[in-house]
Amino acid sequence: MKKILAFLSLLLSVCLHGGGEASAQLNKPYFFYKGRELIVAGDYREAIEMLNLLLRTETKEYEGYFLRGVAKYNLDDLLGAEADFTSAIAVNPVYTMAYQYRAITRSRMGNYNDALKDYQHAVELRPNMSAAYYSRGVTYFLSQQFEKAVDDFSRYLRSTPSDVNALTNRGTCYLYLKDTTRAYADFNRAVEINPYEADGYVRRGLLEVAQNKNAEGIRDLTEALNIDSTQSIAYFYRAYAYVNEQQPMLALADFDRAIAYDSTNSVTYFNRAILRSQIGDYNRAIEDYDRVALYNPGNVLVFYNRASVKIQVGDYRGAIEDYTRAIELYPDFANAYLYRSQLKAALRDFRGAESDRRIAETKIEEYRRKLNDSTFVSFADTSRQFDKLLSFDADFGNNELRSMRGDVRRDVRLMPVFRISFSVRDTTGIYDPSDYRNARLDGYLARLSGTDTGSASARAGYPFDLTGVSAAGRVPADSIAAWDAANGAPVSWEDNFLKGVTQTLLKQYASALSYYRRAARVAEDNPLVYLNRGAAQAEMIEFIASLEGNNIMQQIAVHTDDPAARLLQAQSRRTYDYTEAIEDTRRAAQLMPELPHVYYNLGNMLCLSGDLPGAFEQYTKAIERFPYFAEAYYNRGLVQIFMQDTQKGCLDLSKAGELGLAEAYEVLKRYCVKNP
């Protein structure tokens, strides 16, 4: 949030007393004056050079350290700023301003515990310094202690009742506390005090749209755009409100404007495509879907929805191609089979149509048997249309789109769960401490390799092993299909298990789970069966979430842009039940408690279920059992960042990189390094 993360008018509140008496060698007041002047002018590097001259000879000038810390902060050198504020405190332990601004710096670094200790020192030294309560309120907000944040903002507002930033910040805290009445009152007050500031109107407008008060939301968002016409989020949500008010042409105009100011937001293109198709502008709807598909070729809904539009313009063969692509991405998508069947019949391909119809009916029946699981409910409904509008922060659960949007929160994902699958044989012969070995595990793998399927894959250079990297894409698809077909009537637990492996790789999740269940009935005390079944369920859930436009990682990320927007997202967001996956993985942990990967997998599932502290605990157990577990350090680092403990999270990511996980360095650059 820009207002919260702003430097709180740092420079304007700096009050210094000069530099004391000038020495014969150095005119200290001059250096203080020039340093402050350069900082106010934004010449931070020159200010640092000027203050360096002073501090080389006058090492006890705490105000010089303080000013240099201010300059470093504004250059995003947070570690340097913290060091200078610390030096100022070391020279003058009662220097209140240094405590306050070191707290601000530490808060921005994610070191909230130490920041709050500094604020406590500041308010003890100067209980009437209201700015410290405002700043501490910001830190409480960032560390998700919303009630304490409200208390501090309220205390600040008692002395400064007309500060609109404090009002909007407190209103935002009330939204997180689900007190929309008080949030609305604060946003109202902010607008009354400064009717020429767009932010108050935007926040109030988003809240109104979230509460289905579309007319009021449109009015406020329009007022915000009259003040600042470049706010793409205001256009986006006003379009959302126009759709709710059955005014599609006005909504389209706003989506056009949102794209003009943010041409990289594929969600806007996706929504505009849906809206254009609904009003019969099919050709331009296809153009929008083409744009999204170009950057997001792994998203099922893009191809599924584009196929339905191509039907409207008579391009049946193009529609069949799109349904085929959707099926390739998600072979369990019964609706795609049904519609492709109808098109094939229309083109007189009756044999193909009958085959698709039978496959669809089989999959629908599988889903209906699972109607007690909310994950499958929508897929048992053959009338389901996947044409809802997505909210501004929606994601397609796809790496290409995340890269295109460039949003830090959505540009990273947990490293995947581990399971028994095909792996690439290591031919280097070099010892790698990250290559985990376990005698019991090796015994099970040897039994799997003794089957016909296991032997055939091993001869081809793809033995079975515990891996976190899917073989899909690395092993030829026809080889996977051939091994799967060769294992046509599995009886033993080994054959049923391997059938589950190949079915998972083919994204036939429902079928894979049925084979794992059969394996469990034959070998009910086999930990690998429960490990793989839990992993398959987790992978299936994330894939289905991507079909519905939901990004599970986004749902648990706490560093969201605005809670009013989150309220709107919540109206259409579904939750996904990891209970069975967690139960299976806990069972695997009971049967093989020495295996670190079961705790790692539990960490992933708890994280995606929203239990971040529980995930942290499980990753820690995995690391205790295997200190070279790079993926566990990586995921634990992300979880700590999601919990706003950025400094410790960055240390874990650093360790993951040290252990050879290259992805960790990309995340370190985004979260842990501030470039000037």
> How many domains does the structure of the chain reveal?
2
Please name which of 172, 99, 180 lies closest in space to residue 137, comparing C-alpha atoms.
172
In a domain, 25, yes or no: yes
Other CB atoms within 10 A of residue 25 CB: 8
Is the pLDDT at 153 greater than 90, yes or no? yes
- Residue 122: CATH number of its domain: 1.25.40.10
In a domain, 468, yes or no: no
Helix orientation angle between 527-547 and 596-608, rounded to the nearest 10 degrees: 30
Is the pLDDT at 290 greater than 50, yes or no? yes
Please tell me what DSSP assigns to residue 59: T
What's the rounded mean pLDDT across residues 71-77? Answer: 85
Q: Is the dihedral of CA 382, 388, 394, 396 positive or negative?
A: positive
Pick the most confident of 67-81, 375-389, 391-405, 577-591: 577-591
pLDDT of residue 369: 66
Please name which of 660, 621, 600 lies closest in space to residue 434, comparing C-alpha atoms.
660
| Strands in 97-213 per DSSP E | none
Count of CA atoms in the C-beta half-sphere (13 A) of 237: 37
Pick the most confident of 284-288, 291-295, 500-504: 284-288
* Gap between the Cα atoms of 220 and 216, Å rounded: 6
pLDDT tens sequence across 19-46: 344 344 567 888 888 888 888 888 888 8
In a domain, 164, yes or no: no
Three-state secondary structure readout of 295-364: HCCCCHHHHHHHHHHHHHCCCHHHHHHHHHHHHHHCCCCHHHHHHHHHHHHHCCCHHHHHHHHHHHHHHH
* pLDDT confidence band for 76 (50 / 70 / 90): confident
**Are residue 136 and residue 268 in the same domain, yes or no?**
no
pLDDT of residue 671: 72
In a domain, 600, yes or no: no
Which of 348, 368, 389 corresponds to the end of one domain?
A: 389
Higher-confidence residue of 662 and 500: namely 500
Sort 79 into a burial class: Cβ within 10 Å, 0-12 / 13-18 / 19+. Answer: exposed
Which of 123, 143, 163 corresponds to the end of one domain?
A: 143
pLDDT of residue 85: 94
Is the pLDDT at 129 greater than 90, yes or no? no
* Gap between the Cα atoms of 436 and 425, Å rounded: 14
C-alpha torsion angle, residues 135, 139, 144, 149 (rounded to 10): -20
In a domain, 149, yes or no: no
First to last CA, the chain: 20
Please name which of 154, 237, 178, 169 lies closest in space to residue 202, comparing C-alpha atoms.
237
Higher-confidence residue of 464 and 439: namely 439
Is the pLDDT at 281 greater than 90, yes or no? yes
Query: Is the pTM of the predicted complex or chain greater than 0.75?
Result: no
SS3 435: coil
pLDDT of residue 435: 72
Q: Can you count the helices (H) and strands (E) in the chain?
A: 37, 2
Which of 389, 420, 439 corresponds to the end of one domain?
A: 389
Cα angle 170, 238, 234; round to 5: 50
**Which range of residues forms the domain containing residue 299?**
264-389
In a domain, 365, yes or no: yes
In a domain, 120, yes or no: yes
In a domain, 41, yes or no: yes
Contact 66, 97 (CB under 8 A): yes
